[in-house]
Amino acid sequence: MKLTKSDVMLNEKDALQDMLESEKQLMTLYTTALFEGSTKSMRKNFSANLLGVAENQYTLFTQMSTRGYYQPQPANKNLIDTANQTYKKQKNQLKAK
């Protein structure tokens, strides 16, 4: 079976999704490398690369949102309030110790 160019090309949404996932994976790898870096110059390079990848990831996210490909659901107010209460309690417990 012979494949044509259209059989193997990603559409725009899939290409953007693939790039976004790649940037997320790079962020994870650079974060780990930053934690493990043993010299100041190495850690500085990893940190700079991490920030660059974070910018790329945000740009891709913005492009996908603009095109309607990535629609995050708004958080439920009750869940936000519950999380805030939980973290305030934990913060107060830590202060008391």
For the chain, the structural domain boundaries read 11-96
- For 44-60, what is each residue's pLDDT tens digit? 999 999 999 999 999 99
**More confident position, 21 or 90:** 21
Model confidence band, residue 5 (pLDDT cutoffs 50, 70, 90): low
CB atoms within 10 A of CB 41: 8
Handedness of CA 15, 17, 19, 21 (dihedral sign): negative
d(CA 39, CA 29): 17
Q: Are 20 and 64 in contact (CB under 8 A)?
A: yes
* Residue 3 DSSP code: P
pLDDT at position 32: 96
Per-residue pLDDT, averaged over 17-38, amounts to 95
Q: What's the whole-model pTM score?
A: 0.67
Per-residue pLDDT, averaged over 53-82, amounts to 91
Nearest CA to 35 out of 50, 25, 22 is that of 50
